[in-house]
């Protein structure tokens, strides 16, 4: 019997001989999920749907996590997954679908219809906080257990079959949960990854030599498509959120500060870098509601589990925002881990748990490679030779159907 099956038996599951299924007894331990982002909440919903007990711990308030702006693009396959579990009703009603983007270079616009190049698949533009809102609402409506505003979360005994979470509740009481498994979905700075003993995992990290100033403004979009602009002074991006709010990015030097970017400078730089020479296109401006410097860093942990702790989303890997893969990878992790835990609880088969990390990492590294490919293509490097190589890559993408096909497959798929 595998160590996982032994662990489950010790935890009070019993085997029903007739159906060779694990039947759950009253002392069943919960899956402890740390972090209520898209990954943790999707996992929680999928486990609840399958009747597997779980508890979600979140340090923020419900209001905070439901209003915090982050990513905004969801891929076709992630929407299909959410929808197959009844988690995408509002998304499917409200999200805009996008199948083309625009590259601007030397003042000229070039559209890439990636949907046409890749089987009609599209992106859905739906802000991350709306995904979170839907997932929290669905989980709570189905009777799910979620504790907001917790502090001092600690992970214990992950190498044993009886892992444990302790924390202080929002009202100050010390709490404890004996778990079957722990899912670490608490982001890059969370406690779960740090609870893995040194040497048990390998961490790969890379700073891409650039930074982005990320700007959110109450401004209607000035475009129907995501715009990537390559300008001698650096990259500028115009991304979509809603009919009243837009997201913009500017390449800035490493270690730059938002203090150097008063609103007037942001708009002037966006106007300049996004400008078209052969059209009267204009940027609509509005009130800037958020300005942050994004560290363009990639980080991957291998393997994504240790003992009975499984890492998901940003706790296991971060990726640059270029290509908009982060939330999609997090949702994929949740889907794979949920399937593995459900299979295990139903039949004792731990194959899904044993292959969890390998399956997720295959997609993670594919996405990292693509994001890096795009980073190189759309930014100015301090080294002029590298900048010209990036431009050559973009020119090839615009001129070559094969290169555009590669872009489309990786951008909206696979």
Among 37, 234, 323, 352, binds ligand PHB (CB under 6 A): 323
Pair 336, 360: CB distance under 8 Å: yes
Among 321, 326, 352, 390, binds ligand PHB (CB under 6 A): 321
Q: Could you tell me which stretch among 292-300, 315-323, 359-367, 390-398 binds ligand PHB (CB under 6 A)?
A: 315-323
The verdict on 319 binding ligand PHB (CB under 6 A) reads no
The verdict on 217 binding ligand PHB (CB under 6 A) reads no
Which residues make Cβ contacts (< 8 Å) with residue 359, sequence separation at least 6?
336
Q: 317 catalytic, yes or no?
A: no
Among 79, 226, 236, 337, binds ligand PHB (CB under 6 A): 226
Pair 1, 349: CB distance under 8 Å: no
Q: Could you tell me which stretch among 68-76, 134-142, 172-180, 299-307 binds ligand PHB (CB under 6 A)?
A: 68-76
Pair 90, 97: CB distance under 8 Å: no
Q: Which of 59, 321, 345, 379 is catalytic?
A: 321
Q: Could you tell me which stretch among 67-75, 168-176, 204-212, 361-369 binds ligand PHB (CB under 6 A)?
A: 67-75
In terms of Cα–Cα distance, which of 15, 81, 78, 87 is closest to 48?
87
Say how many CA atoms lie within 13 Å of 284 toward its Cβ.
15
Q: Which of residues 233-252 bind ligand PHB (CB under 6 A)?
A: 239, 247
- Please give, one letter per residue, the 3-state secondary structure of 152-178: EEEEECCCCCCCEEEEECCCCCEEEEE
Q: Which of 59, 76, 98, 231 is catalytic?
A: 98
CB of 76 to ligand PHB, least distance (A): 15
In terms of Cα–Cα distance, which of 364, 272, 377 is closest to 322?
377
138 burial type by CB count under 10 A (0-12 exposed, 13-18 middle, 19+ buried):
buried
The verdict on 72 binding ligand PHB (CB under 6 A) reads yes
CB of 72 to ligand PHB, least distance (A): 4
**What are residue 389's phi and psi, to 5 degrees?**
-65, -40
CB of 359 to ligand PHB, least distance (A): 24
Tokens of 87: 């988690």
Between 25 and 207, CB nearer to ligand PHB: 207
Q: Could you tell me which stretch among 70-78, 159-167, 267-275, 399-407 binds ligand PHB (CB under 6 A)?
A: 70-78
Between 185 and 327, CB nearer to ligand PHB: 327
Contacts made by residues 3-6, CB under 8 angstroms, sequence distance 24+ = 3/161, 4/344, 4/348, 4/350, 4/353, 4/354, 5/348, 5/350, 6/161
Between 11 and 410, CB nearer to ligand PHB: 410
Q: Which residues are catalytic?
A: 98, 228, 321, 325, 411
Question: What are the residues binding ligand PHB (CB under 6 A)?
Answer: 71-73, 226, 239, 247, 321-324
């Amino acid at each position: 019997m595998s160590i996982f099956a032994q662990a489950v038996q010790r935890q009070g599951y019993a085997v029903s001989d007739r159906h060779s299924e694990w039947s759950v007894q009253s002392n069943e331990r919960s899956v402890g999920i740390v972090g209520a982002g898209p990954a943790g909440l999707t996992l929680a919903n999928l486990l609840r749907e399958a009747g597997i007990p779980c508890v979600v711990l979140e340090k923020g308030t419900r209001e905070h996590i439901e209003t915090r702006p982050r990513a905004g693009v969801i891929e076709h396959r992630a929407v299909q997954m959410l929808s197959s579990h009844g988690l995408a009703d509002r998304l499917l009603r409200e999200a805009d679908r996008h199948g083309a983007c625009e590259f601007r270079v030397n003042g000229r616009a070039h559209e890439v219809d990636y949907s046409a190049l890749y089987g009609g698949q599209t992106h859905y533009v739906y802000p991350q906080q709306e995904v979170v809102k839907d997932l929290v609402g669905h989980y709570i409506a189905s009777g799910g257990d979620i504790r907001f505003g917790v502090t001092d979360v600690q992970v214990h005994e992950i190498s044993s079959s009886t892992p444990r979470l302790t924390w202080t509740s929002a009202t100050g009481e010390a709490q404890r949960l004996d778990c079957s498994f722990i899912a670490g979905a608490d982001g890059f700075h969370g406690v779960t990854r740090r609870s893995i003993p040194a040497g048990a995992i390998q961490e790969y990290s890379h700073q891409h030599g650039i930074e982005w100033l990320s700007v959110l403004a109450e401004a209607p979009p000035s475009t129907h498509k995501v715009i990537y602009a390559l300008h001698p002074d650096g990259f500028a991006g115009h991304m979509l959120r809603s009919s009243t709010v837009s997201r913009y990015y500017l390449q800035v030097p490493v270690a730059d500060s938002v203090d150097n970017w008063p609103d007037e400078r942001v708009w002037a730089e966006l106007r300049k870098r996004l400008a078209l020479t052969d059209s009267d296109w204009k940027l609509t401006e509005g009130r800037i509601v958020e300005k942050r410097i994004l560290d363009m860093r990639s980080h991957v942990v291998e393997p994504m589990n240790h003992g009975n702790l499984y890492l998901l989303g940003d706790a296991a890997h971060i990726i640059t925002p270029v290509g908009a893969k982060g939330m999609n990878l997090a949702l994929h992790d949740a889907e794979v881990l949920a399937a593995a835990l459900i299979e295990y609880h139903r039949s004792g088969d731990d194959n899904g748990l044993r292959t969890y990390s390998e399956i997720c990492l295959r997609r993670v590294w594919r996405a990292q490679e693509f994001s890096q490919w795009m980073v190189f293509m759309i930014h100015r490097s301090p080294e002029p030779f590298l900048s010209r190589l990036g431009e050559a890559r973009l020119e090839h993408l615009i001129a070559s159907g094969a290169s555009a096909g590669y872009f489309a497959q990786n951008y909206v798929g696979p």
